[in-house]
């Protein structure tokens, strides 16, 4: 079904973090009433309860989480928060959907917030920021705990897979939250949502791609950054560094891991014509870790000599997992990214090192594949790792893999998909997203008319790192959806530098002259 839209004027949008968006229709002149309402259940679901609570707004503070710092949002208008709890007959699940609705200044837009790791949504700052920016906000917990790394919910008491909850987390709940969010907003504001947007990174990025693949009419625009697409491969592949160290019986100290990272940056940084501590194209970085063998470094006051065994482990981590014939199963950590997240080691009281493994991958293997909550992933042999990798793809690619390259329904619905990926992503190797994008092009031909991917040199997972970060990607997406202005570049910045990121397959390159800290000194090629 083709969307029918009201078009805005031609004025360019100002960054959303700095000003309110231009409403797509006149806002209500009197504050709506924050009260319980009757919400229609999405097909296959049943509403258990609906609660409404008015918030005064003003300055709203949020504590730090395991995945982010504390945050304070000022000048928030008063808003209504409607919480809908639903279930699916026979599933024994209880899924919460929260919708935040500004009393004044609503732009006519809906913004859905994605999750992180094994948490499906964010009920904190994103919903309040959405209200401040003139959106109705929506998110869901998919019926699972808001604890980021807990995977115990995936198993029933008899240690069999809880398939309904896995379905909720993988695909169903985000779709239902979009349906509920639009229904609640329509009733509260007495008019329908004009445009709906998805905003997520990591797990939230995967959820955005899932929506484009499975529910192409839910959102007009999808901002899905550092997406955990190909989840069934990624969730096992990121356990590779632990598997290498345990099978090679050699554990690399964190300071040595960092020395390899710094050496790779020093070697490959100048390739783009400017020395700025960034490896623009890790895939083109040919640095050989064996060149560091024999180098002496200081670790916690002790001098250590880099060994050939250290270099061999680092080489395998960068190369990524392989099958029994040496063929690549998945991409490894990009050169220039911080290896301590996936390959970090810790010392016991005797000073002996061990590799605990990436928590997201450990939880996936324990709960979803082995179905043994206490399973010790450090015991995996290379052969067992490869078996688990194949099992994960075989059993879960169609459930949570988010790897379907056919986006034709989303394209024909009029939707727009925008993503950025950091080349120094230390949690989700960017090769997975690049491989997915290439698969889409092989199936559909050129796709920049509705799907644009931007590589952010030196940026880490969802942000951070030495490279300039996109300053307002959601604003660029809104401009694309509502004004038809497809972004050729994304403005990015740090505290001291600016740079325009280029739409794939083009890359940002230094001109060879001019201030390397200024965006105008770069071009796309």
- Condensed to tens digits (0 to 9), the pLDDT of residues 319-367 reads 999 999 999 999 999 999 999 999 999 999 998 999 999 999 999 999 9
pLDDT value at residue 45: 98
> Which member of 107, 173, 196, 202 is catalytic?
202
482 backbone φψ class: left, alpha, beta (φ>0; ψ -120 to 50): alpha
Whether the per-residue pLDDT at 406 is higher than 80: the answer is: yes
Q: What mean pLDDT value characterizes the chain?
A: 93
Calculate mean pLDDT across residues 279-291: 96
Beta carbons within 8 Å of 8's beta carbon, 6+ residues apart: 22, 24, 482, 483
- 132 within 8 A of 77, measured Cβ to Cβ: yes
> Which member of 88, 461, 479, 521 is catalytic?
461
Calculate mean pLDDT across residues 453-466: 97
Calculate mean pLDDT across residues 469-486: 98
- 418 within 8 A of 473, measured Cβ to Cβ: yes
> Which member of 93, 168, 280, 425 is catalytic?
425
Structure tokens, 118: 């094994």
Calculate mean pLDDT across residues 231-242: 98
Q: Quick check: is 500 catalytic?
A: no
Confidence bin at 24 (pLDDT 50/70/90): low
Whether the per-residue pLDDT at 372 is higher than 90: the answer is: yes
pLDDT value at residue 3: 41
Distances from the Cα of 223 to the Cα of 67, 273, 291, 418, angstroms: 20, 31, 41, 5
How many Å separate Cα 166 from the centre of its chain?
19
User: For a pLDDT cut of 90, what percent of the chain falls above it?
Assistant: 92
For 437, the 3-state DSSP assignment is helix
What is the C-alpha to C-alpha distance for residues 407 and 404, in angstroms, rounded to an integer?
A: 8
pLDDT value at residue 318: 98
Number of alpha carbons in the 13 Å side-chain half-sphere of residue 420: 32
Structure tokens, 278: 């960034």
Pairwise pLDDT comparison (7 vs 33), residue with the higher score: 33
pLDDT value at residue 69: 86
Whether the per-residue pLDDT at 83 is higher than 50: the answer is: yes
Structure tokens, 166: 């896995």
Beta carbons within 8 Å of 196's beta carbon, 6+ residues apart: 109, 110, 111, 112, 178, 181, 182, 218, 219, 220, 221
Q: Quick check: is 479 catalytic?
A: no
pLDDT value at residue 11: 26
Whether the per-residue pLDDT at 13 is higher than 60: the answer is: no
List pLDDT tens digits, range 143-202: 999 999 999 999 999 999 999 999 999 999 999 999 999 999 999 999 999 999 999 999
Whether the per-residue pLDDT at 29 is higher than 70: the answer is: no
Whether the per-residue pLDDT at 98 is higher than 60: the answer is: yes
pLDDT value at residue 34: 97
Looking at the DSSP bridge assignments, the partners of residue 99 are 82, 138
Calculate mean pLDDT across residues 440-446: 98
What is the C-alpha to C-alpha distance for residues 153 and 141, in angstroms, rounded to an integer?
A: 12
Q: Quick check: is 202 catalytic?
A: yes
């Amino acid at each position: 079904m083709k969307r029918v839209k009201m078009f805005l004027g031609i004025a360019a949008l100002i960054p959303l973090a700095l000003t309110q968006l231009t409403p797509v229709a006149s806002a209500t002149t009197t504050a709506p009433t924050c009260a319980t309402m009757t919400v229609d259940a999405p097909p296959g679901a049943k509403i258990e309860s609906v609660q409404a609570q008015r918030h005064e707004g003003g300055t709203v503070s949020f504590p730090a989480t395991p995945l982010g710092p504390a945050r304070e949002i000022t000048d928030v208008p008063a808003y209504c928060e409607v919480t809908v709890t639903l279930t699916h007959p026979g599933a024994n699940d209880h899924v919460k959907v929260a919708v935040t609705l500004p009393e004044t200044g609503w732009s006519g837009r809906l913004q859905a917030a994605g999750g992180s790791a094994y948490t499906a949504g964010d009920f904190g700052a994103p919903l309040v920021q959405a209200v401040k920016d003139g959106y109705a906000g929506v998110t869901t917990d998919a019926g699972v705990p808001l604890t980021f790394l807990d995977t115990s919910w995936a198993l029933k008491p008899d240690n069999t897979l809880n398939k309904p909850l896995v379905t909720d987390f993988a695909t169903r709940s985000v779709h239902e939250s979009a349906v509920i969010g639009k229904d609640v907003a329509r009733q509260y504001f007495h008019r329908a949502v004009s445009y709906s947007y998805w905003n997520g990174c990591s797990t939230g990025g995967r959820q955005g791609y899932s929506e484009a693949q499975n529910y192409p009419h839910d959102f007009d625009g999808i901002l899905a950054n550092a997406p955990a697409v190909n989840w069934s491969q990624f969730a096992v592949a990121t356990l590779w560094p632990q598997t290498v160290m345990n099978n090679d019986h050699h554990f690399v100290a964190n300071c040595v891991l960092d020395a390899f990272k710094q050496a790779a940056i020093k070697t490959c940084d100048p390739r783009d014509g400017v020395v700025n501590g960034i490896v623009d194209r890790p895939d083109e970085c040919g640095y050989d870790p064996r060149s560091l063998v024999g180098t002496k470094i200081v670790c916690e006051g002790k001098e250590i000599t880099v060994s050939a065994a250290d270099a061999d482990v680092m080489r395998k981590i960068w190369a990524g997992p392989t099958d029994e014939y040496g063929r690549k199963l998945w991409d490894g950590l990009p050169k220039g990214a911080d290896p301590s997240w996936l390959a970090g080691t810790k010392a016991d009281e005797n000073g002996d090192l061990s590799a605990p493994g990436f928590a997201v991958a450990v939880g996936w293997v324990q709960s979803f594949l082995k179905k043994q909550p206490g399973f010790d992933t450090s015991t995996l042999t290379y052969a067992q790792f490869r078996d688990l990798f194949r099992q994960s793809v075989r059993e879960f690619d169609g459930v949570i893999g988010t790897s379907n390259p056919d986006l034709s329904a989303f394209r024909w619905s009029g939707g727009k998909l925008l993503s950025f990926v950091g080349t120094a992503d230390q949690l989700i190797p960017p090769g997975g997203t690049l491989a997915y994008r290439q698969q889409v092009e092989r199936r559909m031909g050129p796709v920049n008319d509705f799907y644009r991917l931007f590589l952010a040199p030196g940026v880490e997972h969802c942000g951070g790192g030495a490279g300039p970060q996109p300053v307002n990607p959601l604003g660029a997406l809104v401009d694309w959806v509502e004004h038809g202005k497809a972004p050729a570049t994304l403005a990015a910045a740090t505290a001291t530098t600016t740079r325009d990121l280029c739409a794939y397959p083009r890359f940002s390159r230094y001109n060879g002259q001019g201030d390397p800290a200024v965006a105008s000194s770069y071009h796309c090629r």
